[in-house]
Structure 1
Amino acid sequence: MIKANESPWKYLVMWLRYYYAFHYLKSGLYFVIFNYVPDFSKAGPVGPYLTEMHNVGFYPFVKYLEVVLGAMLLFNWFVPLALIVMAGITVQISYLNLFVSPHPRQAFTGTQELLINGSLLLAYGGYYVDYLRKKAEPLFLWEGFKNRKG
């Protein structure tokens, strides 16, 4: 059986994690440092949606979140948590790019987001096994830390 933490797989996973981290950091830092907001009027049917996201403050929130999530991946902090949060962003980007505004460039971006995030979720999937319980009883966070192994 192939293990994710054995060569060459661990290097492939590490490279994907770094690539995705830099992708998110670049996207977020353009906004955070330079206050760069793309011209949404050229985004086709997605433009009005993105404009309203910006008007209500959700677009800036997502950009700051991208910086935090990119840093988490880059420095290997809480990677399984970061990937789950990134999955929500990935679904939205992919839906908009593949179905709402399927321009060839957007189709590539949407597919890339799905493939990289999906691959990393699979690579770190062992951490999500506890979520796959048929029946679960309440367990406070601090109790979970007491019962944790390693």
Structure 2
Amino acid sequence: MNMAHESPWKYLVMWARLYFAFHYLESGLYYVVFRYVPDFSHAGKVGAYIGAMADVGFYQMVKYLETILGTLLLLDIAVPLALIVMAGISVTIVFLNLFVSPDPRELFTGLQELLLNGTLLLAYGGYYANFFRIKAKPFWFWDGMKREGFEPGSKW
């Protein structure tokens, strides 16, 4: 069996990564560049929640984080780490859009988040394989970085 980066599927994974990157960059940069915080009073049940997030600055922090994560995906830097962080944001979006306020537009957004993040997490899933070990021993972060491709002076 071919490795994922050697198979034709790599182009689908690259397309999904770039699409998700632009999705996050659009969402984040809209706040970062224009300082635009939407009026959440018409957002139904979700409005009070997101409005409270904006009041305490959490919404704004998420927008900066989306910009950073979108940039990481676009530039193909630390993609497995970015996807794990994005998963937290995606779970919140999916829950709010599919269960709390299932408006047709929100249904599309929730399903898009679920599909893109889920697909990319599976595509980069080999990096998370060690998380599922039944018996795990302590393993320092810096020792893990000594694995293939992470030796000092090697090409990343």
| Fold shared per TM-score above 0.5 | yes
How much does 1:27 deviate?
0.2
Question: For 1:25-72, what per-residue CA distance to the aligned partner results, in whole angstroms no more than 9, with x for missing partners?
Answer: 000000000001111011110000000000111101100000000000
Q: How many residues align?
A: 149
- For the residue of structure 2 that corresponds to 1:5, the secondary structure is helix
Q: Name the amino acid aligned to 1:125.
A: G
- For the residue of structure 1 that corresponds to 2:76, the secondary structure is coil
1:90 corresponds to: 90
Superposition CA RMSD, Å: 1.1
Q: Name the amino acid aligned to 2:17.
A: R
Question: For 1:94-122, what per-residue CA distance to the aligned partner results, in whole angstroms no more than 9, with x for missing partners?
Answer: 00000000000001100010001000011
Question: For 1:66-87, what per-residue CA distance to the aligned partner results, in whole angstroms no more than 9, with x for missing partners?
Answer: 0000000000000000001000
Mind listing any 5+ residue stretches in structure 1 that lack a counterpart?
none
Mind listing any 5+ residue stretches in structure 2 that lack a counterpart?
150-156
Q: Name the amino acid aligned to 1:149.
A: E
> Are residues 132 and 53 of structure 1, via their aligned partners in 2, closer, same or farther at CA, if it must alter by over 3 Å?
same
1:129 corresponds to: 129
1:144 corresponds to: 144
How much does 1:131 deviate?
1.0
For 1:10 and 1:142, the matched residues in 2 are separated by: 29
1:28 corresponds to: 28
1:51 corresponds to: 51
For 1:7 and 1:123, the matched residues in 2 are separated by: 12
How much does 1:4 deviate?
2.2
- For the residue of structure 2 that corresponds to 1:77, the secondary structure is coil
For 2:8 and 2:140, the matched residues in 1 are separated by: 38
How much does 1:139 deviate?
2.0
**TM-score (normalizing by structure 2):** 0.91
**TM-score (normalizing by structure 1):** 0.95
For 2:6 and 2:148, the matched residues in 1 are separated by: 21
For 1:67 and 1:17, the matched residues in 2 are separated by: 14
2:109 corresponds to: 109
1:100 corresponds to: 100
Q: Name the amino acid aligned to 2:137.
A: E
For 1:61 and 1:25, the matched residues in 2 are separated by: 14
- 2:32 is the counterpart of 1:17: no
